[in-house]
Amino acid sequence: GFLDRIEAVDPDIRAFITVTKQEALAQAKAVDEKLGRGEKLGMLEGIPMALKDNLCTEGIRTTCSSKILENFIPPYQATVAEKLHDSGAVLLGKLNMDEFAMGSSTENSGFFATRNPWDPERVPGGSSGGSVASVAADQAVYALGSDTGGSIRQPAAFCGVVGLKPTYGVVSRYGLIAYASSLDQIGPVTKTVRDNALVLNAIAGHDAKDSTSAVFEKPDYTQFLTEDIRGLRIGVPKEYFGQGLDPHVEGVLQEALRTYESLGAIVEECSLPHTEYAMPAYYLIATAEASSNLARYDGVRYGRRAEGAEDVIGMFCQTRAEGFGPEVKRRIMLGTYALSAGYYDAYYLKAQKVRTLIVRDFEEALAKFDVLLSPTTPTTAFRIGEKSGDPLTMYLSDVCTVPINLAGIPALSIPAGFADGLPVGMQLMGKHFAEGTLYKAAYAFE
Ligand code: GLN
């Protein structure tokens, strides 16, 4: 089964940090026995899946791909892990990622890089690179990832799978190791749109343990999977088709727009005028929140503690110097700077104002359209090492995904075709809580 598949292909792909073989076999056995007794199984019961390694699993090592949490065994479950467990899911293991979800290629993992199953010379994207690679390489039926600025959608696009960043608040973040709390969301990575809706059914919903979790009427997301999209209004934000977009990727997207027209949708150009400010605003807000969230790794409460320091301050410094990788350190420094007295108004407050303008852009566009459509990424998967020396170029692979997290709206990336033999992702964006509309538009296309 899947454990054999992992054994066969993971030495090349390297999607897994931990394989929970014993647990998986025990769970599978329980399901078998239930079947033997002639009992009915739930939708996800007995289905093997895996979790990004920033989701806490009780009694199972959870590293966030960081040396600082290398041997951290959480004493509690993330709400999503608990919900999937209750649905009878079989946990195969924990998946590689960029350290603390900071990155776009999974090369920032504190342990090893994951490879793109379509081309092992290329990155799978990130930060949920292990999640998408495991699904693309048939090592798991589905996986969960987290998305702060594109970390589910960008790798889903690079590996040709379906990835959803739900509306902020739809999925509980309890037990998700925090990166930037006002942006982070957990979402499903699957092969098909229907599977994605099924997994969202299992993980969405209000949770008293997460104060930012929304109170809302949870639909059955599979009810939206109908083929008829006649009259669906699709807006095409022109700013997402500008400079930096690979012409072959653009060609695939233009073809997709024609498909939508032939299915009876109404396709029109629209504008999100503040798009160019999303990236700088994101990197201020995300790093500011990260610098605060990561202050807890001091060697006292979690994970690694440096040996041999003279005093307690020395121990803090040494632990953090040894435990965090270069990208994490860079972001802590940027964030701390942006939050410093005297700089706060110029940077953090300004970024928050820009965030409001971006929210309004989406509100205005989504008042006219049911969904907005763009490429998920400006290019297909890049080569391992190609961007790892240049953080700014790396950051640009998220230009199309970052604004969505700032606005808190849902967005889905689905495979749209191929350019030069590599998968191209199409991003569908909708109103808050309109995941159903995204599934409807995606299902008709798929
Ligand atoms: N690549 C972006 C970053 O590094 C997004 C990461 C994410 O969504 N977690 O911040």
DSSP 253-302: HHHHHHHHHHTT-EEEEE--TTGGGHHHHHHHHHHHHHHHHGGG-SSSSS
Q: What is the model's pLDDT at position 341?
A: 87
- Condensed to tens digits (0 to 9), the pLDDT of residues 371-393 reads 999 999 999 999 999 999 998 88
pLDDT per residue as tens digits for the range 88-146: 999 999 999 999 999 999 999 999 999 999 999 999 999 999 999 999 999 999 999 99
Is residue 236 lining ligand 1, measured as CB closer than 6 Å? Answer: no
Give Cα separations from 236 to 67, 158, 371 (angstroms): 42, 21, 9
Cβ of 398 below 6 Å from ligand 1? yes
Q: Is residue 344 a contact partner of residue 127, using CB atoms and an 8 Å limit?
A: no
Is 90 exceeded by the pLDDT of residue 227?
Answer: no
What's the distance, CA 24 to chain centroid?
Answer: 24
Out of 127, 131, 146, 291, the active site residue is: 127
Ligand 1 center–CA 287 separation, angstroms: 10
Distance between Cα 27 and ligand 1 center (Å): 33
Over 90: is that where the pLDDT of 226 sits? no
Q: Which of 53, 98, 102, 106 to mutate to test the pocket of ligand 1 (most atoms within 8 A of CB)?
A: 102
Q: What are phi and psi of 303, to 5 degrees?
A: 55, -135
- pLDDT attached to residue 393: 87
The CA-atom distances, in angstroms, between 95 and each of 53, 91, 114, 259 are: 5, 11, 10, 35
Rounded distance, CA 234 to CA 301, Å?
49
| Distance separating alpha carbons of residues 154 and 137, to the nearest angstrom | 17
Mean pLDDT of 219-228: 94
102 lines ligand 1 (CB under 6 A): yes
pLDDT, residue 9, reads 98
CA 290 to chain centre: 16
The per-residue pLDDT for 301 is 86
pLDDT at 243: 82
Q: Which of 398, 399, 405 to mutate to test the pocket of ligand 1 (most atoms within 8 A of CB)?
A: 398
Examine the residue annotation and report whether 52 is marked as an active-site residue of this protein: yes
Give pLDDT, residue 200. 98
Q: For 1-273+374-446, which CATH class?
A: alpha beta
Residue 104 alpha carbon to ligand 1 centre in Å = 6
- Is the CB–ligand 1 distance for residue 425 below 6 Å? no
Identify whether 131 is a catalytic site residue: no
pTM of the model: 0.98
65 is catalytic: no
Task: Return the pLDDT at 395.
Answer: 87
Please work out whether the CB of residue 179 comes within 6 Å of at least one atom of ligand 1: yes
pLDDT at 392: 86
Q: From the alpha carbon of 101, which atom of ligand 1 is closest? A: 9
Residue 267 · residue 254 · CB < 8 Å: no
Closest CA to 114 of 137, 90, 87, 96: 96
Find the 103 Cα to ligand 1 centroid distance in Å: 5
- Name the catalytic one among 66, 109, 151, 213: 151
pLDDT at 396: 87
Whole-number mean pLDDT of the chain?
97
Q: How far is the CA of 331 from the centre of ligand 1 (A)?
A: 11
- For the chain, what is the radius of gyration of the CA atoms? 21
Q: Which helix (H) or strand (E) holds 51?
A: strand 48-52
